[in-house]
A and B are shown apart, each in its own frame.
Chain A
Amino acid sequence: MARVELKNIHVDFPIYGTQHLSLRNTIYRRATGGAIQRDTQNRDRMVVRALSGISMDLVQGDRLGLIGHNGAGKSTLLKAIAGIYEPVSGSIMVQGRVTPLFDMMPGLDVEDTGYENIFTSGMLLGMSREFIERKIPEIEEFSELGEYLSLPVRTYSAGMTTRLGFALVTALDPDVLLMDEGFGAADLRFAERSAERMDDFIGRSRIMILASHSDSMISSICNKAAWLNEGHLVELGPVDEIFEKYHESVHRGPARKVMEEGIAEVVDAEPVSASSLSYNEHSIADINLADRRSRTTGEVIITRLVAKDETGFTRWEYRPGETVNFEIAYKAVTSVPNLALLFRICLPEDQVSGRPLQVISEMREVLSVERMKAGTCGSLKLTLPNLELAPNKFSLYVCLGRSNYSGFFDVVDVNVALPELVVTNDHPSAVGAGVILLDYTIKQNM
């Protein structure tokens, strides 16, 4: 029998800016004590509660799909069940061997041969040498790599590497199988030859938990679904029932309320990398705040920044000619004399060619010439009708500051994991083709 039992687990991700990892800070904090300590506790040592009071009991035959928005805690929950993130409280009991598939080939080194990588990854996934040796013929057959298996993986095409990883992991005998959609199973499952092997592989597992944004994938594989929202388990039950409630709520939007109440519970804990936090479309009030403060005064903070299309749907990918609405919300932490917005669209830094960040377009707007009281909240909508950008990737730089643009209160950009604005058209090769779209006519004389 396999079983997974979660009892009231909590997982916290402490956030810090880069400076908080240094020894000097800790020594300084210890040495000065008192005031700074209180200050830093509020400012730096804050924690995003990624999972909050999750309980569930899964038994043999359960195929659970995790659904929810980005940042709802799906991946964190998987990693907690995998034993990678130890919960701050609560217990996880497991019967059976847990096989986490977050990375198709953990420990992959492209300089090593295919065979060498099979052994390294296989052992890291918990297989014994004898087990892998037994599985070698099967992996050879399915991957169809032949002689290539004796060559370094760097000579493989991307497809060949995927085939190797897929052939390896599906040779496993998992008791409890954990899959994140990043694993690429979604694409593979529907590839003809892989589908059968994937089904067989999942079928061999006793319990499977899958995190995915793909409704069709979850409904086709899973018999249960768990709906997560901001780290809470909203409901767990039969797939169809949960999907129905989930979609209903997305349209009605009651989930919004939870988010606006704030996601971050500030507690004292050990700091952890901000890079593990994904950009949250509902609140960025806390994301990498310390780093933001190191560049700005923090008198006003940007609490929300999101790009929406005409129908109000959040997305960061647009076609030329579409309308983009940026919704920005802010909150004055202390009283400020006036307020202005600076919004820049930039070509991101290109480390390959060494091209620095280049501003393409800058929009300025004075939002208030009068003094704003501490605690004042506001929001604004910046509309770009008929997007005149060529297919490319653009980074955004959004700043609130004084009306004479002499001092900045808060900046949100790529350093705060703000997504890039991607402009595409149907032809994939056209991405990166330019910057702006100019109107033109061509007259031909023959």
Chain B
Amino acid sequence: MSSVTQIAPTPVAPVVTRPRSRKRLRKAGWNVLGLLVLAVMVFPVYWMVSTAFKPGHDILSYTPQFIPTHPVLSNFTDAIHQQFFWNAVKNSLIVTSVVVVLSLVLAFLAALALAKFSFYGRKPFIVVILGVQMVPLAALIIPLYILMSRVHQVDKLSGVIVMYLTFVLPFAVWTLRGFLLGVPKELEESAMVDGATRFGAFVRILLPLLGPGLVATSIFAFIQAWNEFIIAYVFLHTPEKQTLMVWLASFTTLRGTDWGPLMAGATLCSLPVIIFFVLVQRKIAFGLTAGAVKG
């Protein structure tokens, strides 16, 4: 045995290291690729933020400046003092918060019906929910405009809210239904036997367990409503009623684009989405139902 162990390392060593180094190389290759993808994703954001801090002549200079050497805040003050900024902030907040809240409430109830009750036509309904999401938005703009103008909802925030809901709800219902199906039906049955009403069982047992689903849905609804441009642009004419995304477009005029304040405004507009995400993302904890039933 001892003689074997003495000679063993020499022939074995190169055989082992070669695949190992190849493996390491491959890993490094994937990492580089990952970094490249990250760079492509991050660069526009970086360019937006850095441009927001550059003085005008730096922005328009033919040699690109990757790092703002003389950072200024004037772009931000210009953006904030631009006409209708605070109107747009208010409008965006109203539209977004109403869409998020309404979509959560409506989608929860709809998902409940789809997940927990059997009724005639349930399956086709579920398929239709999925199907309508596949229709391209551009194809719907004109018919929707006609429809909304007939019910006098053009150039009104309420009209835009309704429109956003129609786009957010199918996804929200679909997502929440999936989460609801993951909750064993014995939980609400048990609650009902224990003395809760059917609605009480929904609110006390199902709703808390649906946390991650509600968070996922709310993030989706928030991003959709906050970032949406085309519908808002088409439907909201009066400057006082426009949302932030439409307001951003006002930096592009017939005489050219005011890049500095536009980028500063865009940076400001991105902040709420990031803040909202940071606030709620901790709640996306899966496996909340662990321990309910023997797994």
Q: Do A and B bind each other?
A: no
Which residue numbers of B lie inside 8 Å of A, CB to CB? none
